[in-house]
Amino acid sequence: MTALWSIVNFILNLPDFFDILVVIFLILAFVRGALRGFWRALWRFLFVIIVLDFSYLTLIEPFAHFIDYGFWSMMGMTINVTLGGIVFHLNSFDDLIRQVVTYSSSMGYIPATSKLLDPAYVAAFGMAFSKVIGWMVIILVTHFSSWMLSSLLYVFPVRLMVSPTAREHKYRPLGAIFGGLTGFVYVICFSVILSPLHYGFAAMANSAQYPYIFNEYMMKTAEVLNPNTSLLFGWVDFDGKPGGFLPDIFSFQVTDDLSGETTTYYFDQEFVTFIADTTAPAA
């Protein structure tokens, strides 16, 4: 086991680890596209674009609610977590966020001026977190689980739209290009969403206090999967713009009950504040 962790540690400490992963992924995408040929690779590329656009426009909110409550209810799942001798019963993702706030508040970590003392803000923050996770789930599902659907649709009716004579020619170099483009789309999707989240992961990694004491390899993984320092995809950081390239996903609103004023927040910024406000002050 020691040897295994030594290998993991060596891999995670490789220079430009994120870029190495990206290059390997894109090479495999090129090879897969070449093997499938132009027509199937082209269809796969168009299918991915259509599915991701459709999901972005229509499925993010339903997925967020499913992650927040639906999944837990469907599985009948309850997670019991003990922190500082206090047992917390988690029945939803919203519970997780609220209980972290409850624990940190009971320990006196949260500043008196923190927005986390506002239940409406905590609820909106939790839903925004669920939206981010929901988009990541959509990306993973379309990448790993949609091959069968796109293959079936290619057999009928897409394949029938191309003449038999044209189908005989694989045009493998063009297939490789469209295979690479499909891989590039997924790399961009992951990079764009990991870029703003990394600031929160970095805040966790710098904490040696409850409730963010994690395995060092978990934190190292979050550290190296950082597109902001990538030679190839560092541009997705967008100069730290709130919400990055996906402000619709990363933004959430809170309405003040007294004044009626609505304030827009960005999850990537509030995530860092959440970690800072719920972490035990350094000794």
Q: In the prediction, which pLDDT does 48 show?
A: 92
CA atoms of 142 and 150, how far apart (whole Å): 10
- Distance from the first to the final alpha carbon of the chain: 34
**Total domains, the chain:** 1
Q: In the prediction, which pLDDT does 142 show?
A: 85
Q: Does residue 188 lie in a domain region?
A: yes
Q: Does residue 106 lie in a domain region?
A: yes
**pTM (predicted TM-score):** 0.80
Q: Does residue 283 lie in a domain region?
A: no
Q: In the prediction, which pLDDT does 25 show?
A: 92
Q: In the prediction, which pLDDT does 220 show?
A: 64
Structural domain span for residue 16: 2-278
Q: Does residue 269 lie in a domain region?
A: yes
Q: Does residue 207 lie in a domain region?
A: yes
Chunked mean pLDDT (size 10), the chain, 283 residues: 64 74 92 92 92 89 87 80 73 86 84 90 91 88 83 79 78 93 90 77 61 56 70 68 76 84 88 82 56
Whether 202 and 69 have beta carbons less than 8 Å apart is answered as: no
Q: In the prediction, which pLDDT does 240 show?
A: 62
Q: Does residue 115 lie in a domain region?
A: yes
CA atoms of 253 and 181, how far apart (whole Å): 35
Q: In the prediction, which pLDDT does 12 show?
A: 63
Q: In the prediction, which pLDDT does 84 show?
A: 65
Contacts of 173 (CB under 8 A, 6+ apart): 34
Q: In the prediction, which pLDDT does 217 show?
A: 55
Q: Does residue 45 lie in a domain region?
A: yes
